Amino acid sequence: MRTTCLLALLLSVVLTNAARAQESPVAHVVDSYIETSGHEMLRSLRELVAMPNVSENQEDVRVNADFLVDQFEARGARMELLEIPGANPTVYGELLTPGADRTLMIYIHYDGQPVDPARWRATEPFVPALFSDALENGGALIDWPEDGDEIDPGWRMYARSTSDDKAPIVALLAALDAINEAGIPLTSNIKFFFDGEEEIGSPNMRKTLDLYVDKFEDVDLWLFCDGPLHQSRKPCVYFGVRGITGFELTVYGATRNLHSGHYGNWAPNPGMRLAQLLASMKDGSGNVMIEGFYDTVTPLSESEVAELAAVPQIDESLREELGLLESEAPEQNYLQRMQLPSLNIKGIRCGAVGSRARNIVPNEATVAIDIRLVKGNVPRDMIQLVRDHIRSQGYTILDDEPTMQERRESGKLIRMQTSATGYPAARTAMDNPQVEPVVEQLQIILGDEELLKIPGLGGSLPLYLISDYLQQPLMIVPLANHDNNQHSPDENLRIGNLFYGVKAMAAILTAPPVE
Protein backbone atom coordinates (compact mmCIF):
# COMPACT_ATOMS: atom_id res chain seq x y z
CA MET A 1 0.00 0.00 0.00
CA ARG A 2 2.70 2.34 1.15
CA THR A 3 4.96 1.38 -1.77
CA THR A 4 2.18 2.07 -4.25
CA CYS A 5 1.60 5.54 -2.83
CA LEU A 6 5.28 6.32 -2.99
CA LEU A 7 5.46 5.08 -6.56
CA ALA A 8 2.53 7.21 -7.55
CA LEU A 9 4.12 10.21 -5.96
CA LEU A 10 7.41 9.61 -7.71
CA LEU A 11 5.69 9.12 -11.07
CA SER A 12 3.79 12.36 -10.70
CA VAL A 13 7.03 14.23 -9.93
CA VAL A 14 8.75 12.71 -12.95
CA LEU A 15 5.82 13.46 -15.22
CA THR A 16 5.53 17.02 -13.96
CA ASN A 17 9.21 17.66 -14.52
CA ALA A 18 9.11 16.01 -17.92
CA ALA A 19 6.15 18.17 -18.79
CA ARG A 20 7.98 21.25 -17.60
CA ALA A 21 11.00 20.33 -19.68
CA GLN A 22 8.78 19.94 -22.72
CA GLU A 23 7.39 23.39 -22.13
CA SER A 24 10.93 24.80 -21.93
CA PRO A 25 12.95 25.18 -25.10
CA VAL A 26 15.85 26.37 -22.91
CA ALA A 27 16.30 22.90 -21.40
CA HIS A 28 16.69 21.38 -24.90
CA VAL A 29 19.03 24.13 -26.06
CA VAL A 30 21.30 23.68 -23.04
CA ASP A 31 21.35 19.90 -23.30
CA SER A 32 22.30 19.93 -26.94
CA TYR A 33 24.88 22.68 -26.43
CA ILE A 34 26.64 20.57 -23.77
CA GLU A 35 26.47 17.63 -26.19
CA THR A 36 28.06 19.51 -29.07
CA SER A 37 30.30 22.06 -27.38
CA GLY A 38 31.74 20.19 -24.38
CA HIS A 39 35.22 20.17 -25.91
CA GLU A 40 35.11 23.89 -26.45
CA MET A 41 34.17 24.42 -22.79
CA LEU A 42 37.08 22.25 -21.64
CA ARG A 43 39.48 24.22 -23.82
CA SER A 44 38.03 27.46 -22.56
CA LEU A 45 38.46 26.51 -18.88
CA ARG A 46 41.92 25.10 -19.55
CA GLU A 47 42.95 28.41 -21.13
CA LEU A 48 41.48 30.44 -18.27
CA VAL A 49 43.02 28.51 -15.36
CA ALA A 50 46.45 28.54 -17.01
CA MET A 51 46.49 32.26 -16.19
CA PRO A 52 47.99 32.71 -12.67
CA ASN A 53 45.57 34.70 -10.50
CA VAL A 54 46.79 34.71 -6.89
CA SER A 55 45.12 37.80 -5.42
CA GLU A 56 48.36 39.25 -4.07
CA ASN A 57 50.04 39.17 -7.51
CA GLN A 58 48.32 42.19 -8.96
CA GLU A 59 49.91 42.08 -12.41
CA ASP A 60 48.80 38.48 -12.86
CA VAL A 61 45.28 39.32 -11.72
CA ARG A 62 45.03 42.21 -14.21
CA VAL A 63 45.91 39.89 -17.10
CA ASN A 64 42.83 37.88 -16.12
CA ALA A 65 40.71 41.01 -15.92
CA ASP A 66 41.65 42.10 -19.45
CA PHE A 67 40.88 38.61 -20.71
CA LEU A 68 37.40 38.74 -19.18
CA VAL A 69 36.71 42.12 -20.78
CA ASP A 70 37.60 40.67 -24.20
CA GLN A 71 35.50 37.54 -23.73
CA PHE A 72 32.33 39.33 -22.65
CA GLU A 73 32.70 42.18 -25.14
CA ALA A 74 32.82 39.48 -27.81
CA ARG A 75 29.33 38.42 -26.55
CA GLY A 76 27.96 41.94 -26.88
CA ALA A 77 28.32 43.12 -23.30
CA ARG A 78 29.50 46.62 -22.43
CA MET A 79 32.49 46.01 -20.14
CA GLU A 80 34.35 48.29 -17.77
CA LEU A 81 37.07 47.99 -15.10
CA LEU A 82 35.90 49.54 -11.84
CA GLU A 83 39.12 50.80 -10.30
CA ILE A 84 40.06 51.59 -6.71
CA PRO A 85 43.64 52.85 -6.32
CA GLY A 86 45.98 50.03 -5.28
CA ALA A 87 43.30 47.35 -5.70
CA ASN A 88 42.68 44.65 -8.27
CA PRO A 89 39.91 45.88 -10.59
CA THR A 90 36.31 44.75 -10.47
CA VAL A 91 35.36 43.67 -13.97
CA TYR A 92 31.87 45.10 -14.47
CA GLY A 93 29.56 44.49 -17.41
CA GLU A 94 26.08 45.15 -18.75
CA LEU A 95 23.99 43.19 -21.20
CA LEU A 96 20.77 45.16 -21.45
CA THR A 97 17.55 43.59 -22.73
CA PRO A 98 15.02 45.91 -24.40
CA GLY A 99 11.73 45.78 -22.53
CA ALA A 100 13.06 43.91 -19.51
CA ASP A 101 11.80 45.33 -16.22
CA ARG A 102 14.18 43.39 -13.98
CA THR A 103 17.95 43.58 -13.48
CA LEU A 104 19.93 40.58 -12.34
CA MET A 105 23.54 40.90 -11.16
CA ILE A 106 25.79 37.88 -11.65
CA TYR A 107 28.72 37.81 -9.22
CA ILE A 108 31.78 35.61 -9.85
CA HIS A 109 35.33 36.13 -8.57
CA TYR A 110 38.31 35.65 -10.83
CA ASP A 111 41.18 35.78 -8.30
CA GLY A 112 42.54 32.69 -6.58
CA GLN A 113 44.11 31.42 -3.36
CA PRO A 114 47.90 31.36 -2.86
CA VAL A 115 49.67 28.20 -4.05
CA ASP A 116 52.50 26.09 -2.66
CA PRO A 117 53.62 24.12 -5.75
CA ALA A 118 55.67 21.67 -3.65
CA ARG A 119 52.47 20.37 -2.09
CA TRP A 120 50.59 19.73 -5.34
CA ARG A 121 50.61 16.10 -6.42
CA ALA A 122 48.47 16.25 -9.58
CA THR A 123 50.20 19.05 -11.49
CA GLU A 124 51.72 22.49 -11.16
CA PRO A 125 49.05 24.91 -9.86
CA PHE A 126 48.78 26.79 -13.16
CA VAL A 127 49.45 23.92 -15.54
CA PRO A 128 45.98 22.38 -15.92
CA ALA A 129 45.88 18.58 -16.12
CA LEU A 130 43.04 16.16 -16.81
CA PHE A 131 42.50 13.08 -14.64
CA SER A 132 40.15 10.12 -15.11
CA ASP A 133 38.79 10.64 -11.60
CA ALA A 134 39.76 12.35 -8.35
CA LEU A 135 43.28 11.44 -7.20
CA GLU A 136 41.92 10.00 -3.95
CA ASN A 137 39.60 7.76 -5.99
CA GLY A 138 42.56 6.42 -7.98
CA GLY A 139 42.23 8.89 -10.85
CA ALA A 140 45.04 8.77 -13.43
CA LEU A 141 46.43 11.49 -15.69
CA ILE A 142 44.78 11.30 -19.13
CA ASP A 143 45.30 13.04 -22.46
CA TRP A 144 43.19 16.04 -23.35
CA PRO A 145 40.31 14.70 -25.49
CA GLU A 146 40.14 15.38 -29.21
CA ASP A 147 36.96 16.63 -30.86
CA GLY A 148 34.63 13.70 -31.24
CA ASP A 149 35.91 11.84 -28.16
CA GLU A 150 33.26 11.28 -25.55
CA ILE A 151 33.68 13.38 -22.41
CA ASP A 152 33.21 11.57 -19.10
CA PRO A 153 31.49 13.88 -16.58
CA GLY A 154 33.50 12.12 -13.85
CA TRP A 155 36.79 13.48 -15.19
CA ARG A 156 38.57 16.07 -13.10
CA MET A 157 40.52 19.11 -14.25
CA TYR A 158 43.28 20.00 -11.75
CA ALA A 159 44.59 23.56 -11.43
CA ARG A 160 44.18 26.51 -9.05
CA SER A 161 40.76 28.19 -9.48
CA THR A 162 39.21 25.47 -11.63
CA SER A 163 36.42 25.32 -9.05
CA ASP A 164 37.01 28.48 -7.06
CA ASP A 165 35.91 30.39 -9.03
CA LYS A 166 36.68 30.21 -12.75
CA ALA A 167 34.32 27.41 -13.80
CA PRO A 168 31.27 29.70 -13.39
CA ILE A 169 32.86 32.16 -15.83
CA VAL A 170 33.22 29.47 -18.48
CA ALA A 171 29.69 28.19 -17.75
CA LEU A 172 28.30 31.71 -18.13
CA LEU A 173 30.06 32.23 -21.45
CA ALA A 174 28.74 28.87 -22.64
CA ALA A 175 25.16 29.66 -21.54
CA LEU A 176 25.30 33.00 -23.36
CA ASP A 177 26.55 31.27 -26.50
CA ALA A 178 23.95 28.49 -26.29
CA ILE A 179 21.03 30.87 -25.82
CA ASN A 180 22.29 33.28 -28.43
CA GLU A 181 22.85 30.58 -31.04
CA ALA A 182 19.31 29.28 -30.45
CA GLY A 183 17.85 32.78 -30.78
CA ILE A 184 16.24 32.67 -27.33
CA PRO A 185 15.85 36.15 -25.82
CA LEU A 186 17.16 37.11 -22.39
CA THR A 187 14.38 37.88 -19.92
CA SER A 188 16.27 40.43 -17.79
CA ASN A 189 18.89 43.12 -17.92
CA ILE A 190 22.01 41.18 -16.97
CA LYS A 191 24.92 42.76 -15.15
CA PHE A 192 28.27 41.23 -14.22
CA PHE A 193 30.38 41.81 -11.12
CA PHE A 194 33.66 39.92 -11.42
CA ASP A 195 35.53 40.38 -8.14
CA GLY A 196 39.35 40.42 -8.23
CA GLU A 197 39.91 40.33 -4.48
CA GLU A 198 37.54 37.73 -3.04
CA GLU A 199 40.31 35.49 -1.75
CA ILE A 200 41.77 38.32 0.32
CA GLY A 201 38.35 39.17 1.76
CA SER A 202 37.13 41.69 -0.86
CA PRO A 203 38.56 44.61 1.13
CA ASN A 204 37.51 47.16 -1.54
CA MET A 205 34.05 45.89 -2.37
CA ARG A 206 32.26 48.38 -0.17
CA LYS A 207 34.28 51.24 -1.63
CA THR A 208 33.41 49.97 -5.12
CA LEU A 209 29.69 49.82 -4.29
CA ASP A 210 29.89 53.39 -2.97
CA LEU A 211 32.01 54.89 -5.73
CA TYR A 212 30.05 53.30 -8.58
CA VAL A 213 26.67 53.29 -6.84
CA ASP A 214 24.75 54.18 -10.03
CA LYS A 215 25.61 50.80 -11.47
CA PHE A 216 24.05 48.96 -8.55
CA GLU A 217 20.96 50.97 -7.61
CA ASP A 218 18.65 49.20 -10.04
CA VAL A 219 19.66 45.64 -9.23
CA ASP A 220 16.68 43.45 -8.25
CA LEU A 221 18.55 40.28 -7.35
CA TRP A 222 22.18 39.30 -6.93
CA LEU A 223 23.24 35.81 -8.03
CA PHE A 224 26.45 34.72 -6.36
CA CYS A 225 28.05 32.00 -8.41
CA ASP A 226 30.68 30.62 -6.08
CA GLY A 227 31.22 27.79 -3.64
CA PRO A 228 30.54 24.08 -3.85
CA LEU A 229 27.34 22.12 -4.44
CA HIS A 230 25.90 19.95 -1.72
CA GLN A 231 27.90 16.85 -0.86
CA SER A 232 25.14 14.60 -2.23
CA ARG A 233 26.14 16.00 -5.66
CA LYS A 234 22.51 17.14 -6.09
CA PRO A 235 21.96 20.58 -7.60
CA CYS A 236 21.27 23.20 -4.97
CA VAL A 237 20.89 26.87 -4.20
CA TYR A 238 21.63 28.72 -0.98
CA PHE A 239 20.09 31.85 0.44
CA GLY A 240 22.87 33.01 2.68
CA VAL A 241 26.40 32.52 3.87
CA ARG A 242 28.28 32.55 7.13
CA GLY A 243 30.30 35.67 7.89
CA ILE A 244 33.85 35.48 9.09
CA THR A 245 36.25 37.07 11.48
CA GLY A 246 39.51 35.89 12.93
CA PHE A 247 42.51 36.57 15.07
CA GLU A 248 45.94 35.35 15.98
CA LEU A 249 47.07 34.74 19.54
CA THR A 250 50.68 34.57 20.66
CA VAL A 251 51.48 33.30 24.14
CA TYR A 252 54.86 34.40 25.49
CA GLY A 253 57.34 32.53 27.66
CA ALA A 254 60.90 33.66 28.38
CA THR A 255 62.55 36.35 26.28
CA ARG A 256 64.38 33.66 24.31
CA ASN A 257 64.31 29.95 23.55
CA LEU A 258 65.79 28.05 26.49
CA HIS A 259 67.62 24.72 26.69
CA SER A 260 64.96 22.20 27.67
CA GLY A 261 67.36 20.33 29.95
CA HIS A 262 68.42 23.32 31.96
CA TYR A 263 65.05 25.07 31.97
CA GLY A 264 62.42 22.47 31.08
CA ASN A 265 60.17 22.04 34.09
CA TRP A 266 60.95 25.50 35.45
CA ALA A 267 60.39 27.99 32.63
CA PRO A 268 56.70 28.18 31.58
CA ASN A 269 56.21 26.52 28.20
CA PRO A 270 54.16 28.76 25.86
CA GLY A 271 53.15 25.74 23.76
CA MET A 272 51.61 24.09 26.79
CA ARG A 273 49.98 27.32 27.94
CA LEU A 274 48.49 27.86 24.50
CA ALA A 275 47.21 24.27 24.50
CA GLN A 276 45.56 24.85 27.87
CA LEU A 277 43.97 28.08 26.67
CA LEU A 278 42.66 26.48 23.47
CA ALA A 279 41.33 23.49 25.40
CA SER A 280 39.35 25.92 27.56
CA MET A 281 37.59 27.26 24.45
CA LYS A 282 35.98 24.10 23.10
CA ASP A 283 34.79 20.88 24.69
CA GLY A 284 35.40 17.35 23.48
CA SER A 285 32.16 17.40 21.49
CA GLY A 286 33.06 20.48 19.50
CA ASN A 287 30.87 22.90 21.40
CA VAL A 288 32.42 26.29 22.02
CA MET A 289 32.62 27.00 25.73
CA ILE A 290 33.23 30.75 25.41
CA GLU A 291 30.46 32.43 27.36
CA GLY A 292 27.75 33.91 25.13
CA PHE A 293 29.13 32.39 21.91
CA TYR A 294 25.76 31.04 20.76
CA ASP A 295 23.54 33.69 22.41
CA THR A 296 23.13 36.07 19.46
CA VAL A 297 22.29 33.49 16.77
CA THR A 298 19.05 34.40 14.89
CA PRO A 299 16.96 31.20 14.78
CA LEU A 300 15.84 29.81 11.39
CA SER A 301 12.21 30.33 10.38
CA GLU A 302 9.82 27.39 10.30
CA SER A 303 10.00 27.11 6.52
CA GLU A 304 13.80 27.24 6.59
CA VAL A 305 13.85 24.47 9.18
CA ALA A 306 11.51 22.46 6.94
CA GLU A 307 13.64 22.91 3.79
CA LEU A 308 16.72 22.01 5.80
CA ALA A 309 15.07 18.81 7.01
CA ALA A 310 14.19 17.90 3.40
CA VAL A 311 17.84 17.91 2.34
CA PRO A 312 19.35 14.40 2.12
CA GLN A 313 21.57 13.54 5.07
CA ILE A 314 25.14 13.30 3.90
CA ASP A 315 26.95 13.01 7.21
CA GLU A 316 27.57 9.29 6.94
CA SER A 317 28.91 9.33 3.39
CA LEU A 318 30.90 12.49 4.04
CA ARG A 319 32.58 10.91 7.05
CA GLU A 320 33.30 7.82 4.98
CA GLU A 321 34.82 9.91 2.19
CA LEU A 322 36.99 11.93 4.57
CA GLY A 323 38.14 9.00 6.66
CA LEU A 324 36.34 10.15 9.79
CA LEU A 325 34.55 7.80 12.17
CA GLU A 326 33.03 10.74 14.02
CA SER A 327 32.30 14.39 13.42
CA GLU A 328 32.00 17.21 15.95
CA ALA A 329 28.79 17.46 18.00
CA PRO A 330 27.37 14.15 16.73
CA GLU A 331 23.85 15.05 17.86
CA GLN A 332 23.71 17.66 15.06
CA ASN A 333 24.03 16.93 11.36
CA TYR A 334 26.26 18.67 8.84
CA LEU A 335 23.77 21.30 7.68
CA GLN A 336 22.64 22.10 11.21
CA ARG A 337 26.28 22.71 12.13
CA MET A 338 26.66 25.12 9.19
CA GLN A 339 23.82 27.28 10.62
CA LEU A 340 25.91 27.86 13.78
CA PRO A 341 29.00 29.97 14.42
CA SER A 342 32.30 28.08 14.43
CA LEU A 343 35.65 28.49 16.16
CA ASN A 344 38.35 26.84 14.07
CA ILE A 345 42.13 26.49 14.45
CA LYS A 346 43.76 27.26 11.09
CA GLY A 347 47.26 26.71 12.35
CA ILE A 348 49.63 26.60 15.29
CA ARG A 349 53.30 27.53 15.24
CA CYS A 350 55.61 26.80 18.13
CA GLY A 351 59.26 25.73 17.99
CA ALA A 352 59.73 22.90 15.52
CA VAL A 353 58.95 19.21 15.06
CA GLY A 354 60.57 16.41 13.08
CA SER A 355 64.15 16.78 11.92
CA ARG A 356 64.12 20.50 12.78
CA ALA A 357 63.06 19.96 16.40
CA ARG A 358 65.57 21.08 18.98
CA ASN A 359 65.78 20.53 22.72
CA ILE A 360 64.30 23.85 23.71
CA VAL A 361 61.56 25.46 25.70
CA PRO A 362 60.19 27.67 22.89
CA ASN A 363 59.82 31.34 23.74
CA GLU A 364 56.43 31.76 22.09
CA ALA A 365 53.49 29.92 20.55
CA THR A 366 51.04 31.32 18.01
CA VAL A 367 47.64 30.13 16.88
CA ALA A 368 45.57 31.41 13.94
CA ILE A 369 41.82 31.06 14.45
CA ASP A 370 38.85 31.87 12.29
CA ILE A 371 35.33 32.34 13.54
CA ARG A 372 32.49 31.77 11.09
CA LEU A 373 29.46 33.89 11.90
CA VAL A 374 25.76 33.37 11.32
CA LYS A 375 22.89 35.82 11.15
CA GLY A 376 22.75 37.75 14.42
CA ASN A 377 26.49 37.59 15.20
CA VAL A 378 28.32 40.93 15.10
CA PRO A 379 32.02 40.34 14.30
CA ARG A 380 33.48 42.74 16.88
CA ASP A 381 31.13 41.47 19.58
CA MET A 382 32.23 37.88 18.93
CA ILE A 383 35.88 38.94 19.17
CA GLN A 384 35.04 40.71 22.43
CA LEU A 385 33.62 37.46 23.83
CA VAL A 386 36.91 35.75 23.02
CA ARG A 387 38.86 38.58 24.65
CA ASP A 388 36.72 38.28 27.78
CA HIS A 389 37.29 34.54 27.84
CA ILE A 390 41.06 34.91 27.51
CA ARG A 391 41.09 37.42 30.36
CA SER A 392 39.02 35.03 32.47
CA GLN A 393 41.90 32.55 32.06
CA GLY A 394 44.24 35.00 33.78
CA TYR A 395 45.87 36.53 30.71
CA THR A 396 46.84 40.13 30.07
CA ILE A 397 46.05 40.87 26.42
CA LEU A 398 48.58 42.96 24.48
CA ASP A 399 48.42 44.57 21.05
CA ASP A 400 52.12 44.10 20.49
CA GLU A 401 55.07 42.02 21.67
CA PRO A 402 55.53 42.43 25.43
CA THR A 403 57.94 45.01 26.81
CA MET A 404 60.11 44.15 29.81
CA GLN A 405 57.82 46.38 31.86
CA GLU A 406 54.76 44.36 30.78
CA ARG A 407 56.64 41.17 31.53
CA ARG A 408 57.22 42.40 35.08
CA GLU A 409 53.54 43.18 35.57
CA SER A 410 51.88 39.97 34.39
CA GLY A 411 52.86 36.32 34.41
CA LYS A 412 50.48 35.39 31.60
CA LEU A 413 50.97 37.54 28.53
CA ILE A 414 49.22 37.07 25.23
CA ARG A 415 49.15 39.12 22.07
CA MET A 416 45.90 39.27 20.12
CA GLN A 417 45.96 40.43 16.52
CA THR A 418 42.50 40.70 15.02
CA SER A 419 41.83 40.39 11.35
CA ALA A 420 40.73 43.56 9.58
CA THR A 421 38.79 41.61 6.98
CA GLY A 422 35.92 40.24 9.00
CA TYR A 423 32.30 40.67 8.05
CA PRO A 424 28.89 39.47 9.23
CA ALA A 425 26.72 36.73 7.74
CA ALA A 426 23.96 37.36 5.17
CA ARG A 427 20.61 35.64 4.59
CA THR A 428 17.71 36.31 2.20
CA ALA A 429 14.32 34.76 2.98
CA MET A 430 13.54 31.75 0.76
CA ASP A 431 10.11 33.17 -0.14
CA ASN A 432 11.47 36.49 -1.43
CA PRO A 433 9.55 37.21 -4.72
CA GLN A 434 12.74 37.98 -6.70
CA VAL A 435 14.18 34.61 -5.81
CA GLU A 436 11.30 32.41 -6.86
CA PRO A 437 11.40 32.76 -10.70
CA VAL A 438 15.08 31.80 -10.85
CA VAL A 439 14.54 28.77 -8.63
CA GLU A 440 11.52 27.77 -10.74
CA GLN A 441 13.40 28.12 -14.06
CA LEU A 442 16.37 26.11 -12.75
CA GLN A 443 14.00 23.34 -11.64
CA ILE A 444 12.42 23.34 -15.12
CA ILE A 445 15.79 23.00 -16.83
CA LEU A 446 16.79 20.24 -14.42
CA GLY A 447 13.66 18.29 -15.26
CA ASP A 448 13.27 15.43 -12.82
CA GLU A 449 16.50 16.13 -10.97
CA GLU A 450 15.63 17.51 -7.54
CA LEU A 451 16.94 21.00 -6.62
CA LEU A 452 17.89 21.42 -2.94
CA LYS A 453 17.16 24.70 -1.18
CA ILE A 454 19.42 25.42 1.79
CA PRO A 455 19.21 28.47 4.09
CA GLY A 456 22.90 28.98 4.70
CA LEU A 457 26.19 27.94 3.11
CA GLY A 458 29.02 27.08 5.50
CA GLY A 459 31.54 29.22 3.66
CA SER A 460 31.82 32.98 3.73
CA LEU A 461 31.36 35.71 1.15
CA PRO A 462 30.98 39.42 1.88
CA LEU A 463 27.28 39.25 0.99
CA TYR A 464 26.25 41.43 3.93
CA LEU A 465 27.22 44.28 1.60
CA ILE A 466 24.26 43.29 -0.52
CA SER A 467 21.76 42.03 2.05
CA ASP A 468 22.45 44.57 4.79
CA TYR A 469 24.28 47.49 3.19
CA LEU A 470 22.51 47.75 -0.20
CA GLN A 471 19.40 46.05 1.20
CA GLN A 472 18.98 43.92 -1.94
CA PRO A 473 18.04 40.23 -2.07
CA LEU A 474 20.52 37.57 -3.09
CA MET A 475 20.87 33.91 -3.73
CA ILE A 476 23.86 31.67 -4.23
CA VAL A 477 24.08 29.43 -7.25
CA PRO A 478 27.14 27.21 -6.83
CA LEU A 479 28.36 24.67 -9.36
CA ALA A 480 31.65 23.18 -8.07
CA ASN A 481 31.89 19.65 -6.72
CA HIS A 482 32.21 19.68 -2.92
CA ASP A 483 35.38 17.57 -3.07
CA ASN A 484 37.27 20.17 -5.10
CA ASN A 485 40.12 20.80 -2.59
CA GLN A 486 39.15 24.44 -2.51
CA HIS A 487 41.87 26.63 -0.89
CA SER A 488 44.21 23.62 -0.77
CA PRO A 489 46.74 21.93 -3.04
CA ASP A 490 45.25 19.85 -5.88
CA GLU A 491 42.19 22.04 -6.43
CA ASN A 492 40.07 20.46 -9.14
CA LEU A 493 36.74 20.59 -10.95
CA ARG A 494 34.57 17.61 -11.81
CA ILE A 495 33.72 18.13 -15.50
CA GLY A 496 30.07 17.17 -14.94
CA ASN A 497 29.81 20.15 -12.65
CA LEU A 498 30.94 22.48 -15.42
CA PHE A 499 28.09 21.15 -17.55
CA TYR A 500 25.62 21.60 -14.70
CA GLY A 501 26.87 25.18 -14.48
CA VAL A 502 25.58 25.90 -18.00
CA LYS A 503 22.09 24.88 -16.87
CA ALA A 504 22.31 27.11 -13.81
CA MET A 505 23.51 30.09 -15.84
CA ALA A 506 20.87 29.51 -18.49
CA ALA A 507 18.20 29.52 -15.76
CA ILE A 508 19.40 32.93 -14.57
CA LEU A 509 19.48 34.33 -18.12
CA THR A 510 15.98 33.08 -18.97
CA ALA A 511 14.07 33.22 -15.65
CA PRO A 512 10.34 34.09 -16.05
CA PRO A 513 9.10 37.48 -14.85
CA VAL A 514 8.39 38.16 -11.18
CA GLU A 515 4.72 37.51 -10.49
Of residues 3 and 405, the one with the C-beta less far from its own copies: 405
The residue range among 45-53, 145-153, 399-407, 438-446 that interacts with its own copies, by the rule CB under 8 A, is 399-407
Give, as ranges, the residues between 480 and 499 that touch its own copies (CB under 8 A): 482, 485-488
Rounded Cα distance, 217 and 275, in Å: 49
Binding of its own copies by 411 (CB under 8 A): yes
**CB 320 to its own copies: min, Å:** 8
To the nearest whole angstrom, how small is the minimum distance from the Cβ of residue 338 to its own copies?
7
- 132-138 contacts: CB < 8 A, separation 24 or more? 134/483, 134/492, 134/494, 135/490, 136/483
Q: Pick the stretch among 25-33, 82-90, 368-376, 436-444 that binds its own copies (CB under 8 A).
A: 368-376
Q: How far is the CB of 149 from its own copies (least distance, A)?
A: 30
**Nearest CB to its own copies, comparing residues 76 and 261:** 261
Among 38, 128, 235, 351, binds its own copies (CB under 8 A): 351
Rg (CA), the chain: 25
Interaction between residue 359 and its own copies (CB under 8 A): yes
Contact by Cβ (8 Å): 415, 400 = yes
352 is a contact residue toward its own copies (CB under 8 A): yes
Contact call for residue 269 and its own copies (CB under 8 A) = yes
Burial of 437 (0-12, 13-18, 19+ CB in 10 A): buried
Applying CB under 8 A, what is the total number of residues that bind its own copies? Answer: 93
Q: Find the binder of its own copies among 227, 379, 424, 437 (CB under 8 A).
A: 227
Q: Which among 4-12, 96-104, 361-369, 376-384 is the span making contact with its own copies, rule CB under 8 A?
A: 361-369
Residue 356's CB is within 10 A of a number of other CB atoms, namely 7
Which among 63-71, 74-82, 146-154, 273-281 is the span making contact with its own copies, rule CB under 8 A? Answer: 273-281
222 phi and psi angles, rounded to 5 deg: -100, 135
229 binds its own copies (CB under 8 A): no
Amino acid at 342: S
Candidates 2-10, 46-54, 402-410, 503-511 — which segment interacts with its own copies by CB under 8 A? 402-410
Find the binding residues for its own copies in span 149-188 (CB under 8 A). Answer: none
Contacts of 61 (CB under 8 A, 6+ apart): 53, 54, 55, 88, 110, 111, 196
Site for its own copies, residues 311 to 350, rule: CB under 8 A: 320, 322-329, 334, 337-338, 340-350
Read off the amino acid at residue 183: G
* CA atoms of 382 and 371, how far apart (whole Å): 8
Scanning residues 249 to 268, which ones bind its own copies (CB under 8 A)? 253-268
Helix (H) or strand (E) segment spanning residue 496: helix 495-509
Query: CB of residue 90 vs its own copies: minimum separation in angstroms?
Result: 22
C-alpha to C-alpha distance for 462 and 464, rounded to whole angstroms: 6
| Contact between 358 and 351 (Cβ < 8 Å) | yes
- Rule CB under 8 A: say whether 90 interacts with its own copies: no
* 139 in contact with its own copies (CB under 8 A): no
**C-alpha to C-alpha distances, 18 to 28, 70, 437, 444, 446, nearest whole angstrom:** 12, 38, 18, 9, 9
- C-beta of 235 vs 458, nearer to its own copies: 458
Choose, by CB under 8 A, the member of 57, 132, 366, 418 that binds its own copies.
Answer: 366
Q: Pick from 205, 227, 225: which is nearest to 216 by CA?
A: 205
Interaction between residue 244 and its own copies (CB under 8 A): yes
Toward its own copies, which CB reaches closer, 5 or 357? Answer: 357
Residue with Cβ nearer its own copies (228 or 437): 228
As a whole number of angstroms, the distance between CA 21 and CA 445 comes to 6
Q: Which is nearer to its own copies, 128 or 458 (CB)?
A: 458
Binding to its own copies (CB under 8 A) within 103-122 occurs at 113-114
Q: Does 294 bind its own copies (CB under 8 A)?
A: no
| Least distance from its own copies to the Cβ atom of residue 207, Å | 23
The whole-angstrom distance between residue 68's C-alpha and the CA centroid of its chain comes to 21
Determine which residue in the list 93, 128, 362, 422 makes contact with its own copies, applying CB under 8 A: 362
Quick one: which of 248, 436, 440, 450 contacts its own copies (CB under 8 A)? 248
Q: Does 391 bind its own copies (CB under 8 A)?
A: no
When asked if residue 228 is in the footprint of its own copies (CB under 8 A), the reply is: yes
Cβ within 8 Å of residue 127, ≥6 positions away = 50, 159
Q: Distance between CA atoms of 84 and 62, rounded to whole angstroms? A: 13
Residue closer to its own copies by CB (options 221, 367) is 367
Residue type, 153: P
With left for phi above 0 and alpha for psi between -120 and 50, is residue 134 left, alpha or beta? beta
Question: In terms of Cα–Cα distance, which of 150, 104, 13 is closest to 446?
Answer: 13
